[in-house]
Amino acid sequence: QMDIPLILENPETTVKQSVQALLDTGCTGSCIHRDLVHRAGLTQKPYERPIPVHNADGTPNAGGNITHYVEVFITIGNHREKMQLLVTDLG
Protein backbone atom coordinates (compact mmCIF):
# COMPACT_ATOMS: atom_id res chain seq x y z
CA GLN A 1 0.00 0.00 0.00
CA MET A 2 1.06 3.60 -0.56
CA ASP A 3 -0.40 7.09 -0.46
CA ILE A 4 -0.68 9.04 -3.71
CA PRO A 5 -1.77 12.63 -4.34
CA LEU A 6 -4.80 13.06 -6.59
CA ILE A 7 -7.48 15.54 -7.56
CA LEU A 8 -11.06 14.63 -6.64
CA GLU A 9 -13.67 16.46 -8.75
CA ASN A 10 -17.38 16.68 -8.07
CA PRO A 11 -19.00 16.08 -11.50
CA GLU A 12 -22.11 18.05 -10.50
CA THR A 13 -20.31 21.23 -9.43
CA THR A 14 -16.82 20.79 -11.02
CA VAL A 15 -15.33 21.75 -7.62
CA LYS A 16 -11.91 20.14 -7.26
CA GLN A 17 -10.11 19.09 -4.10
CA SER A 18 -6.54 17.83 -3.66
CA VAL A 19 -6.41 14.74 -1.45
CA GLN A 20 -4.07 11.91 -0.48
CA ALA A 21 -5.41 8.50 -1.49
CA LEU A 22 -4.43 5.09 -0.18
CA LEU A 23 -3.55 2.73 -3.00
CA ASP A 24 -4.29 -0.74 -1.64
CA THR A 25 -4.01 -3.54 -4.19
CA GLY A 26 -5.64 -5.96 -1.75
CA CYS A 27 -8.96 -4.09 -1.74
CA THR A 28 -11.72 -5.53 -3.93
CA GLY A 29 -13.22 -2.12 -4.78
CA SER A 30 -12.62 1.61 -4.71
CA CYS A 31 -13.83 3.30 -1.53
CA ILE A 32 -14.14 6.79 -0.10
CA HIS A 33 -14.55 7.71 3.56
CA ARG A 34 -17.98 9.13 4.39
CA ASP A 35 -16.37 12.16 6.10
CA LEU A 36 -14.65 13.14 2.82
CA VAL A 37 -17.94 12.67 0.95
CA HIS A 38 -19.56 15.24 3.27
CA ARG A 39 -16.59 17.67 3.16
CA ALA A 40 -16.49 17.53 -0.66
CA GLY A 41 -20.27 17.95 -0.96
CA LEU A 42 -20.65 14.81 -3.06
CA THR A 43 -24.11 13.42 -3.79
CA GLN A 44 -24.59 9.91 -2.43
CA LYS A 45 -26.61 7.43 -4.47
CA PRO A 46 -28.18 4.43 -2.72
CA TYR A 47 -27.67 0.77 -3.55
CA GLU A 48 -30.79 -1.39 -3.71
CA ARG A 49 -29.18 -3.90 -1.35
CA PRO A 50 -26.50 -3.17 1.28
CA ILE A 51 -23.05 -4.63 0.65
CA PRO A 52 -21.69 -6.46 3.73
CA VAL A 53 -18.19 -5.41 4.82
CA HIS A 54 -15.90 -7.83 6.63
CA ASN A 55 -12.45 -7.37 8.12
CA ALA A 56 -9.49 -9.53 7.11
CA ASP A 57 -10.28 -11.90 9.99
CA GLY A 58 -13.86 -12.38 8.75
CA THR A 59 -15.58 -10.32 11.44
CA PRO A 60 -18.15 -7.67 10.43
CA ASN A 61 -16.64 -4.21 10.03
CA ALA A 62 -17.59 -1.72 12.77
CA GLY A 63 -18.47 0.86 10.09
CA GLY A 64 -21.34 -1.32 8.94
CA ASN A 65 -22.57 -2.24 5.48
CA ILE A 66 -22.03 -0.15 2.37
CA THR A 67 -25.35 1.41 1.40
CA HIS A 68 -24.31 4.26 -0.94
CA TYR A 69 -21.83 5.21 -3.65
CA VAL A 70 -20.64 8.46 -5.24
CA GLU A 71 -19.51 9.28 -8.76
CA VAL A 72 -16.41 11.46 -9.09
CA PHE A 73 -13.69 12.37 -11.52
CA ILE A 74 -10.24 11.33 -10.31
CA THR A 75 -7.10 12.90 -11.75
CA ILE A 76 -3.65 11.42 -11.11
CA GLY A 77 -0.94 13.22 -13.04
CA ASN A 78 -2.25 13.52 -16.62
CA HIS A 79 -4.77 10.68 -16.25
CA ARG A 80 -8.44 11.53 -15.56
CA GLU A 81 -11.36 9.14 -15.27
CA LYS A 82 -14.85 8.93 -13.85
CA MET A 83 -15.21 6.43 -11.02
CA GLN A 84 -17.85 5.04 -8.71
CA LEU A 85 -16.58 4.95 -5.13
CA LEU A 86 -18.17 2.97 -2.33
CA VAL A 87 -18.99 5.20 0.66
CA THR A 88 -17.68 3.56 3.81
CA ASP A 89 -15.77 3.94 7.05
CA LEU A 90 -13.08 1.28 7.05
CA GLY A 91 -11.75 2.85 10.27
Domain, as residue range, for 8: 2-88
Q: Please report, for the domain that includes residue 55, its CATH number.
A: 2.40.70.10
Please check the confidence at residue 6 and state whether its pLDDT lies above 80.
yes
Q: pLDDT tens digits, residue range 13-55? A: 999 999 988 877 667 788 999 999 999 999 999 999 999 988 8
d(CA 53, CA 79): 30
Residue 9: band (very low, low, confident or very high) from pLDDT cuts 50, 70, 90: very high
75, 18 Cβ separation under 8 angstroms: no
Mean per-residue pLDDT over the chain, rounded = 90
pTM assigned to the model: 0.84
- pLDDT for residue 53: 87
Q: How many structural domains are present in the chain?
A: 1
The pLDDT, as a whole number, for residue 61 is 86
